Amino acid sequence: MDIGKADFGTVIKFGNLEKFLQKFHAENKQIQEVVDSVDENGISLLEKSLISRKFDIANYLLDKKAKVNIVSKEGFNELHYIAANINFPGAVEVADRLVKMGVDLNVKDKKYSNSAIITLCLEVLKKRTEDGNEFIVSCLKKKPNVHDFNKAGYSLERLIKERGTDEMKKVLEVLS
């Protein structure tokens, strides 16, 4: 890949952390100059790294104080973007870090009106790993809105009652 012609988002998508850092050197820029930039769709570099499963770049950006709770034009935040990749190695750790940093679990996307926590639950419950299940339990302990409905008429409460683990259901009982 010719990093000289590619923008930072493209380097994230097709490169790696080394190429990403080379791009800064090639453009004689500091990370602070671009760490919080967003594209025409309102998607940040951090979100692009989550979409592309480049969790090393995501951690680098977070270490460099990248802003979180960036909401794209589609209504997605960082948790919506990592959800599709939550079952890949390293994703749960980054997602947990984002939650601990205060990324909003209740932000709803525009298309389905799914909150970030519902989107995460839907993906975690597809594969049901121990790490994923524990992550959802820790998210539930943050007391997200469990009664809000998406466009299909589902709430987080209903999703957990129908498909959640016993531990998820126990935490839900406390919230309901």
Query: Which pLDDT score is estimated for 123?
Result: 97
Query: Which pLDDT score is estimated for 27?
Result: 87
Q: Token pair of 131, please?
A: 């790490």
Angle at 151 between CA 150 and CA 156, to 5 degrees: 20
Q: Token pair of 117, please?
A: 């926590």
Query: Which pLDDT score is estimated for 10?
Result: 94
Q: Which residues contact 100 (CB under 8 A, 6 or more apart)?
A: none
Query: Which pLDDT score is estimated for 2?
Result: 67
Query: Which pLDDT score is estimated for 66?
Result: 96
Which stretches in the chain have pLDDT values below 50? none
Query: Which pLDDT score is estimated for 30?
Result: 87
Distances (CA, A) of 51 to 19, 57, 91: 17, 11, 11
Q: What is the pTM of this model?
A: 0.94
Q: Which domains, from first to last, does the chain contain?
A: 1-67 (no CATH), 68-176 (1.25.40.20)
Query: Which pLDDT score is estimated for 107?
Result: 98
Query: What confidence tens digit (pLDDT) does each residue in 145-168 have?
Result: 999 999 999 999 999 999 999 999
Query: Which pLDDT score is estimated for 1?
Result: 61
